[in-house]
Structure 1
Amino acid sequence: MTSPDIRVLTDPRREAWGTDGPRPIVTYVWPPDTATTSGTVLLSHGTGGCALDLSWLAEPLATAGLRVIGVDHHGNNYRSGYHAEGFARWWDRPQDLSVVLDHLADGGPIGVAGFSLGGYTAAAVLGARINADLFGAIATGRATVPLPPEYPTLIDELTDRIGIDDIAAWITESGGDYADRRVTAGLLICPAQGQLLTSASLRGITTPVSIWWTGEDDQTPAETNALHYASLIPGATAHCADLSAGHYVFVRDMPDADRIRTRLAAAAVTFFRKQLTA
């Protein structure tokens, strides 16, 4: 399998964190191995990760004739660096995927897949919306959530530089609709933020959705995340990738990781080839 082509896009509507200029969107394009493509699949990585973490999924999809485009979400990936805002403004992520489509869509059918916070991102592209009241409670300190292990100083940094007016604007933005109607199918792997989304928005998703979870996930427990999504999204299917595996089996070297990833990748190929048939 050849390495993906790397291209840096920008979104002039949003500023980069920690420097002047527009928001950068680093993309990785795995071209299909076949003469004709069966569609495009967008990939969204987990908190603090990068698109290459999902090469195990991208490569089989490309081998099966799908064009795959992964994104490094600015401020929330280890390749270009962390910024507190990149860990707090989850709704920037689905907008990144829409910018990718604005620049790189080829007119064919489009799906989306994501892991962990990338699972939320995929759902947001399909229509899931954050409950702004709940986000507001977190942003103003009236409610607490566990800090991401990749960024333990998140709250301290945001408190030092984010003012009241900025917080108010963030709360309003958090509840926005970031769906992209060009995307017609989604695969969610151990998706996050299940309890922070509106039930109405999940019930309003009309595209086919396949959801995967693991039995020992201590980061996004299935009961309040994957299975919660599945219980509300009409027609969604839920699958256990492995009862004894944890959250990070999809991005770290662990016993049985290859077997579990291979099984899920094969299921993803079947799902997207069926759903993205033009």
Structure 2
Amino acid sequence: MEWLVRPLHEAGFRVVALDHHGNNHVDGYEPEGFLHVWDRPRDVTLALDALAREELLGPVGVAGFSLGGYTAAALAGARVDPQIVWAVLTGAVRLPEIPEFPGALEALRRKHPLDESSRRALDAAAADLSDSRVRAVFQVAPGAGGLVTPESLAAVKVPVGIRWGGADTVNPYEVDTRPYLEHVPTASGRSAGPDVRHDDFFAPEPADPAVRVRVGGEAAAFFQQHLG
């Protein structure tokens, strides 16, 4: 994610990048890290609390790629619909294959058998995970758009910028980006290009390296406008 961190740093922002437990290259993969998405915003709030104990925080912006896009939106008030999550977990709604963790859903079911107690535990998914310190959000190829409620998105008040790839089959525009763009009243955005894939934002050799460099610059400009 250097393409995103560098322009933010060069624009004068203090940048903190999080490794979410169970979904990073440091301590490995766990199914909850990919499927219990509502735990991710809590990680950010925990990090902000720790930073605030060190020194006074200025206006906070959150940028996120893929599931990080959902994480950023959740910190601005987006809420997951637990009924949809339950439908995904039970197989009533198909979960697209997760390239980094094929079989993540089956692994989760083995660890947490689906029963009434596990369904009640999903109430945590619907909690308000917003953080009042977050003043602006920038999403890149955001995920989980099909899991969030339109009502919660309609209540988002901070500026939201969105970029997506026109050839993204991991988080397709219609499923994952359109809900944010259409229901968040403060959202604006544009495609990064008709041929841009999800992988082009993180692959060692993207089809066009200039795309993500441009998007990183646009993220920095967005936050300069809304946090300056």
TM-score, normalised on structure 2?
Answer: 0.93
Q: 1:261 to 1:161 in 2, by over 3 A?
A: closer
Matched, 1:85 2:32: yes
Deviation at 1:193? 1.1
- For structure 2, which runs of at least 5 residues remain unmatched after alignment? none
TM-score, normalised on structure 1?
Answer: 0.77
Deviation at 1:166? 4.8
- Helix, strand or coil at the partner of 2:130: coil
> What is the aligned-residue RMSD (CA, Å)?
1.4
Match of 2:150 in 1: 199
Deviation at 1:165? 5.0
Match of 2:133 in 1: 182
Bigger shift: 230-239 or 220-229?
220-229
Match of 2:108 in 1: 158
Rounded to whole Å, the distance in 1 between the matches of 2:103 and 2:165 is: 28
AA aligned to 1:191 is P
Matched, 1:255 2:202: no
Higher relative contact order (CA 8 A, sep 6+): 2
Aligned length: 223
How much identity, in percent, do the aligned residues show? 39
Matched, 1:208 2:178: no
Deviation at 1:202? 0.4
Matched, 1:72 2:19: yes
Q: 1:62 to 1:195 in 2, by over 3 A?
A: same
Q: Counting strand residues as a fraction of each chain, which structure ranks higher?
A: 1
Match of 2:42 among 90, 95, 99: 95
Q: 1:220 to 1:67 in 2, by over 3 A?
A: same
Match of 2:82 in 1: 132
Rounded to whole Å, the distance in 1 between the matches of 2:125 and 2:136 is: 23
- Helix, strand or coil at the partner of 2:219: helix
Q: Counting helix residues as a fraction of each chain, which structure ranks higher?
A: 2
- Helix, strand or coil at the partner of 2:108: helix
Match of 1:268 in 2: 219
AA aligned to 1:171 is L
Query: Which string of whole-angstrom CA distances, capped at 9 and with x for unpartnered residues, describes residues 108-153 of structure 1?
Result: 0000000011101111111100011111122233332123121112
- Helix, strand or coil at the partner of 1:128: coil
The answer to whether the Cα contact below 8 Å between 1:250 and 1:261 also exists between their aligned partners in 2 is yes
AA aligned to 2:127 is G
Matched, 1:234 2:181: no
AA aligned to 1:141 is G
The answer to whether the Cα contact below 8 Å between 1:131 and 1:196 also exists between their aligned partners in 2 is yes
Deviation at 1:76? 0.9
Give the alignment of 1:53-72 within 5 angstroms.
54-72=1-19
